[in-house]
Structure 1
């Protein structure tokens, strides 16, 4: 893999910090009422399922081994269709990943646009990064993807999510407002030497 593709992989790790059913829950914080925490999370899930079109704008910082970087993130979701864009002001580079049931498109990399039937497989082939693209739209909203486990904090909100070798820690939440339930404000995802931190500046709908 060329140095250009390694650099692209780092950018995509930044970028990809790219429907809901209930998941098993593991209660670890003794101060929270488990039944109340489950009920609160179910109410969040139902409310968010009723909002299939949504967006977020935020800031990312990533460390991959001894390398790191940061950038601005713009995520647009419309049901099963999504578009994730990252811009790095320092290098003036940008990357775009879009897709849905019909496949995925990766733009902005040296060597031209790439296409594939599966977003995760496309990214793995292009960059070497095993990114769980389909699960990310759940995790950034504080929802458990199928097969994931949630741990609750003392405030009854999700504190940690465990899925497929990834650990997602929810470090700060924004209070419910303007038709939205309480939403993640600051989170960190880690797996095998990769750490990605996200600060959400704004949640929105079209």
Structure 2
């Protein structure tokens, strides 16, 4: 018996349709699965890092206008910190201590009090860095209490963060004990383009673990 070309075409079309439906039914939904996995990884990562109560970082900062500086930041439990910046102020260094909105600044010329350390640095040195948010942003976390726009990498860590007039891009991370902490990140505001490198994390204390260092 000779098959009708039309009947053969109908059978072939039906077979192709069934194969296509079967393939659609078995294919995963990578975007949905990946988003859920990243969200879960971020929650676990955020919980671990947010437990850090105090730390010290030693690193370097560079601004788009060619300024370079060495930076040491010691964060105590709560808001109090001590920072030492060497390089962009000529001879000597600048020491900043207090809380982000009430600090004492010590230079070779004396001591000053200010409630706007970022503005003080911008006026005196022509550059500044995110003193208000650094306690959180250096750890790769949004600061609590203000809106933030975030994106994440495949490991569930911050890739970008926009908050309080600054945009941060996390370029890579380093393993410090059981934690994954930023190694290099860029921070941009309306006044400055900044690059920060954390060469060493020290004296990390959490609410669950004894001090650790890299």
Relative to the length of structure 2, the TM-score reads 0.67
Show CA shifts across 1:88-128 (max 9, x none): 29944311111128821111164x31113464566578678
Q: Does 1:57 align with 2:63?
A: no
- Residue 72 of structure 1: which of 65, 70, 73 is its match? 70
Aligned twin of 1:137: 135
Q: Does 1:185 align with 2:183?
A: yes
Decide whether the 8 Å contact of 1:153 with 1:159 is kept in 2. yes
Aligned twin of 1:166: 166
Aligned twin of 2:42: 41
Partner secondary structure for residue 33 of structure 1: helix
Pairs aligned (count): 171
Decide whether the 8 Å contact of 2:58 with 2:71 is kept in 1. yes
Give the alignment's Cα RMSD to 1 decimal.
3.1
Q: Distance in 1 between matches of 2:182 and 2:33?
A: 19
Give how far 1:131 is off: 5.7
Aligned twin of 1:19: none
Aligned twin of 2:81: 82
Larger radius of gyration: 2
Partner secondary structure for residue 140 of structure 2: coil
Q: Which has the higher contact order (CA 8 A, sep 6+)?
A: 1
| Cα separation, partners in 2 of 1:53 and 1:164, compared to 1, 3 Å | closer
| Cα separation, partners in 2 of 1:103 and 1:62, compared to 1, 3 Å | same
Runs of 4 or more, structure 1, over 6 Å off, are 124-130
Partner secondary structure for residue 133 of structure 1: coil
Q: Does 1:200 align with 2:201?
A: no
Give how far 1:41 is off: 2.4
Q: Distance in 2 between matches of 1:120 and 1:89?
A: 14
The range that moved more, 139-148 or 81-90, is 81-90
Q: Distance in 2 between matches of 1:105 and 1:90?
A: 16
Decide whether the 8 Å contact of 1:32 with 1:152 is kept in 2. no
